[in-house]
Structure formats: structure tokens, C-alpha cells
């Protein structure tokens, strides 16, 4: 009878351990890009080729603009910001940039106020070239974003703000920059927060879906926030008392001592 009681207590303790510390996750919860076999190669190539990626200029963007021409002296006035600075650093580049005001305008030398808000970089280049051509023959304009940054937060190994130098980054690349999702990251409900027309918009993305690559939100734009919430396993474990492992150990010792005493 005593041996039976001891076995009973031991079984109860084992069940408690299994319940508290076992993971509820499955392969289906953590694997990316599931059921890709259902997408034909032709469909995949066509969709990727037809995916249009456009980054538009928005208020508070910082634009690095250079102008060149056959006669370098003729465009010096348009590059006055560059001429007055020494070696290029992140700080000096920020100062050199043209900050887009809340109305979407920049103030460019000789040209004056130019409305670039809502334009793609390509369209802004064409607009400036037409404006500058009144002063210089055949100008060549180059524009780069100085503040093309994305934010990756939540259940990733390296959350933070990341600068994108090539001005194009996908969700997959952003997650890779952040060191991948932790085992507790919710793959089916990733949240994308984006400013559109002066308003915050919220989108929900399923990283396990095979059509992720065809999503209009597959590519991120500047200042996007990508948030990976915790999955059910992590959320459930957070409700347990932080001292629970100690309590379980004490209960284990007490049961063992009681069993020995009964013997």
C-alpha cells in the first residue's frame, strides 16, 4: 500500500512536469512557406516577374541628390551641399540630404520648391531633370534615400532598427537581418505597420502560406514596422509564476520525504 502511494505521488509529479514544461508547438506552427508543391514553377515565375515594387517619397524622407553634366562647373550650384562638406560619414550625409517637408516639398538650389511627395524615385528624377534643364543642358540626376530604415520587433533574435542600403528589402530578408524568428514567434500572424497617406495601416501576414511571395506586402518600404507576436506557447508560459520551478522542486522534495517517512 505504501509503495502504491509513493508510485501515485511520483506519477502525479511527472504529469505536472510534463504539463508545465512541454512545448505545445508542432512542425505546422514553425515551418515557413508550407505547401509550396501546390504552386507550379510557371505560376511562381510569372507572379514574381509581375510583382511591382515601388517606393514612393513621403514627408520626412531625407533625400541625397546629386546632379552631373558634361560641364561639371555648370552644376556646382546644385551640389553646393556636397562641396561644403569634408569626408562622408553618416552624420554629414544626413546634413547633406534634402528633407521632405510635411507637404511633400523640397527646396532645391535655383529651382526652388519642388513637390516630390508621392512620387517614385524614378519620377522624382525626371521631374528634377526637367526643372534643372532650364539652367543646364542634359543634366543627370541621382537620388538616394538616406533614411531607408525598417523596424523589426518582437520574437526575433536581434530586434532593432535596420538601415537598408539597396533601398529594397523583402519580409524574408528583414527577418534574416534580425537573426530569424525565435521558436516562440507566431508565424501565421506577423503584423506589418505602415504609414500610408499620413495614416497608420495594419496588415497581417502568414509566413507559412505559399502565396507569401505574391503578397503586395512582400517587399517593405522605408520606416515599416514588422512585429512578430509571441505564439500560444510563449503567451501561456508567461502567465505562470516566475518562481514556479522552485515551487515544483519543493513539492517534489516534500512528496519524497513524506513517502520515506511513511515507509
| Cα 135 → chain centroid | 42
**Model-level pTM?**
0.67
Q: What is the pLDDT of residues 52-84, one digit of tens each?
A: 567 889 898 999 999 999 998 999 999 877 655
62-145 belongs to CATH 3.30.1950.10: yes
Query: What's domain 27-53+148-232's architecture?
Result: Roll (3.10)
| Exposure string over 204-234, b if 16+ CB within 10 A, otherwise e | ebbbebbbbbbbebbbbbbbbbbbbebbebb
- Which among 131, 94, 98 has a CA at the least distance from the CA of 117? 98
pLDDT of 163 strictly over 80? yes
Which of 5-14, 63-72, 210-219 has the least mean pLDDT? 5-14
Instruction: Write down the domain spans for the chain.
Output: 2-23+242-262, 27-53+148-232, 62-145
- Which among 26, 30, 32 has a CA at the least distance from the CA of 211? 32
136 near 184, Cβ under 8 Å? no
| pLDDT band, residue 141 (cuts 50/70/90) | very high
CB atoms within 10 A of CB 136: 19
Can you tell me the distance from the alpha carbon of 120 to that of 115, in angstroms, rounded to the nearest whole number?
12
Amino acid at each position: 500500500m505504501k509503495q502504491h502511494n509513493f508510485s501515485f505521488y511520483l506519477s502525479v509529479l511527472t504529469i505536472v512536469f510534463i504539463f508545465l514544461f512541454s512545448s505545445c508547438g508542432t512542425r505546422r506552427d514553425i515551418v515557413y512557406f508550407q505547401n509550396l508543391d501546390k504552386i507550379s514553377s510557371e505560376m511562381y515565375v510569372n507572379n514574381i516577374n509581375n510583382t511591382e515594387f515601388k517606393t514612393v517619397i513621403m514627408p520626412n524622407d531625407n533625400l541625397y541628390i546629386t546632379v552631373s553634366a558634361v560641364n561639371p562647373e555648370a552644376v556646382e550650384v546644385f551640389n553646393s551641399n556636397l562641396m561644403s562638406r569634408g569626408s562622408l560619414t553618416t552624420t554629414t550625409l544626413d546634413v547633406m540630404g534634402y528633407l521632405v517637408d510635411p507637404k511633400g516639398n523640397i527646396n532645391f538650389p535655383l529651382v526652388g520648391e519642388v513637390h516630390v511627395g508621392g512620387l517614385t524615385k524614378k519620377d522624382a528624377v525626371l521631374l528634377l531633370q526637367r526643372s534643372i534643364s532650364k539652367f543646364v543642358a542634359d543634366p543627370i540626376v541621382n537620388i538616394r534615400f538616406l533614411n531607408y530604415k525598417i523596424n523589426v520587433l518582437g520574437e526575433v533574435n536581434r530586434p532593432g532598427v535596420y538601415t537598408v542600403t539597396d533601398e529594397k528589402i523583402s519580409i524574408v530578408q528583414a527577418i534574416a537581418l534580425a537573426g530569424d524568428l525565435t521558436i516562440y514567434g507566431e508565424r501565421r500572424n506577423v503584423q506589418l505597420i505602415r504609414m500610408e497617406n499620413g495614416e497608420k495601416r495594419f496588415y497581417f501576414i502568414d509566413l507559412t502560406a505559399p502565396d507569401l511571395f505574391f503578397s503586395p506586402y512582400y517587399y517593405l518600404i522605408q520606416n515599416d514596422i514588422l512585429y512578430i507576436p509571441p505564439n500560444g506557447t510563449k503567451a501561456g508560459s508567461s502567465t505562470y509564476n516566475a518562481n514556479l520551478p522552485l515551487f515544483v522542486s519543493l513539492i517534489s522534495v516534500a512528496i519524497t520525504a513524506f513517502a520515506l517517512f511513511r515507509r
